Chains A and B, each alone.
Chain A
Amino acid sequence: MSADAPLLVVKDLTVSFRSDEGLVRAVGGVSFAVEQREIVGVVGESGSGKSQTLLAIMGLIDSPNAIVSGSIRFMGQELIGLKRRALDAIRGRQIAMIFQDPMSALTPVHTVGNQIGEQVRAHEKVSAKAARARAVQLLDAVGIANPDRVVDGYPHQLSGGMRQRAVIAMALSCNPVLLVADEPTTALDVTVQAQILELIGRLRDQFGSAVILVTHDLGVVAEVADRVLVMYGGRFVEEGGKSSVFRAPLHPYTWGLFGSIPPMEGPRPARLAAIPGIPPSLSNLPKGCAFGPRCAFRHDACLVQLPIMRGESHRAACLLPEATRRQFAVQRPGGVEMQR
Chain B
Amino acid sequence: MVAALGFRLGQMVLVMFGISVVAFLIFFATPGADPSARIAGRNASQETLIQVRHDFGLDRPLPVQYGLMMNRLFVSRDLTSFVNRGQRVIPTVISAIPVTLSLVSGAAVLWVLGGLIVGVIAGATRGTFVDRALMILSLVGVSIPVFWLGEVANLLTQSRWHDSWLFSWVPPLGYIPLTENPWGWFKALVIPWFTLATLYVGLYGRVLRASLIEMMQEDFIRTARAKGIGERRVLLHHGLRTSLVAFVTMFGLDFGALVGGGALLTEVVFGLQGVGKLTYEALQTLDLPMILATVIYAAFFVVMANFVVDVVFVIIDPRARNVG
Taking beta carbons and an 8 Å cutoff, which residues of A are in contact with B?
Answer: 58, 60, 62, 64, 84-85, 87-93, 96-97, 99, 101, 104-110, 118-119, 122-123, 154, 156, 167, 170
* Chain A: minimal CB distance from B178 (Å): 36
Contact, CB under 8 Å: A96 / B316? no
Q: A88 near B316 (CB under 8 angstroms)?
A: no
- The interface residues of chain A lying within 8 Å CB-to-CB of B222 are 60, 99, 105
Q: Is the CB of A97 within 8 A of B228?
A: no
Which residues of B have CB within 8 Å of A123?
228
- Across the interface, do B220 and A106 meet the contact criterion of CB distance under 8 Å? yes
Whether B219 lies near A119 (C-beta < 8 A) is no
Contact across chains for A105 and B220 when beta carbons are under 8 A apart: yes
The answer on a CB contact under 8 Å between A119 and B229 is yes
Residues of B within 8 A of A101 (CB): 219
Taking the nearest CB of chain A, how far is it from the CB of B269, in angstroms?
40
Q: Return the contact of A105 from the options B219, B228, B231 (Cβ within 8 A).
A: B219
Q: A99 and B319 in contact (CB under 8 A), knowing A123-B228, A170-B227?
A: no
Q: A105-B219, A108-B319 are in contact. Are A122 and B230 (CB under 8 A)?
A: yes
Whether A89 and B228, one on each chain, are in contact in the complex, defined by CB atoms closer than 8 angstroms, is yes
Against A, the Cβ 8 Å flags (1 = close, 0 = not) of B198-227 are 000000000000000000001110111111
Q: What residues of chain B lie closer than 8 Å to A88, measured between beta carbons?
A: 228-230
Q: Which of B219, B230, B242 counts the most chain A CB atoms within 10 A?
A: B219
With both beta carbons as reference points, the residue of chain B lying nearest to A170 in the complex is identified as: B227
Residue contact A91 to B227, C-beta cutoff 8 Å: yes
Classify the secondary structure of B's interface with A. Answer: helix
- B72 within 8 Å of A by Cβ? no
Chain B's closest residue to A93 (CB) is B228
**Once the chains bind, are B220 and A92 in contact (CB under 8 Å)?**
no
Residues of B within 8 A of A96 (CB): 226
Shortest distance in angstroms between B128's beta carbon and chain A's nearest beta carbon? Answer: 11
In the bound complex, CA of A110 to CA of B237 (Å): 9
How large, as a class, is the contact surface on chain B?
A: 20 to 34
Cα distance, A27 to B226, chains bound together (Å): 20
Q: Which of A64, A92, A99, A107 contacts B238 (CB 8 A)?
A: A107
Expressed in whole angstroms, the minimum distance between the Cβ of B192 and any Cβ of chain A is: 35
Residues of chain A within 8 A (CB-CB) of B218 are 104
B238 neighbours in A (Cβ, 8 Å): 107, 110
**Complex Cα distance A84/B225, Å?**
10
15 contacts between A and B (CB under 8 A): A60-B225, A62-B225, A91-B225, A92-B228, A93-B228, A97-B226, A99-B219, A99-B222, A104-B218, A105-B219, A107-B223, A107-B224, A108-B220, A119-B227, A123-B228
A87 and B228 form a contact (CB under 8 A): yes
Q: Which residue of A lies closest to B222 (CB)?
A: A60
Contact of A108 (CB < 8 Å), options: B225, B231, B317: B317
The docked-state distance in angstroms from the alpha carbon of A154 to that of B223 is: 16
Q: What is the bound-complex CA distance between A119 and B230, given in angstroms? A: 11
| B63 contacts chain A at the CB level, 8 A cutoff | no
A122 near B229: Cβ-Cβ < 8 Å = yes
Docked Cα-Cα span, A90 to B226, in Å, equals: 10
Q: Closest residue to A58 on the B side, CB-wise? A: B226
Extra contacts, 4 of them, besides A60-B222, A64-B127, A99-B219 (Cβ < 8 A), are A105-B222, A108-B317, A108-B318, A109-B317
Binary contact track B237-256/A, C-beta < 8 Å → 1, others 0:
11001100000000000000
Q: Which residue of B is nearest A100, CB measured?
A: B219
A212 CA to B225 CA, complexed, in Å: 19
If the complex has contacts A101-B219, A104-B218, A109-B242, are A154 and B227 also in contact, measured as CB distance less than 8 A? Answer: no
- How near does chain B come to A156, taking the closest CB pair, in angstroms? 5
Task: List residues of chain A with CB within 8 A of the CB of B223.
Answer: 97, 99, 105-107, 167, 170
Instruction: Flag if A90 contacts B228 (CB, 8 Å).
Output: yes
B227, A109: Cβ atoms closer than 8 Å: no
Closest to A120 in B: B227
Using CB atoms, name the residue of chain A closest to B221. A107
Interface 1/0 per residue, B111-135 and A, CB below 8 Å: 0000000000000000100000000
Q: Determine which of A62, A99, A119, A167 lies in contact with B228 in the assembled complex, contact meaning CB atoms within 8 Å.
A: A119
- Given A64-B127, A101-B219, A107-B220, are A156 and B227 neighbors across the interface (CB < 8 Å)? no
Q: Which residue of A lies closest to B321 (CB)?
A: A154
A104 shortest CB reach to chain B, Å = 4
What 8 pairs between A and B have smallest CB-CB spacing?
A92-B228, A104-B219, A88-B228, A92-B227, A119-B227, A154-B318, A91-B228, A107-B220
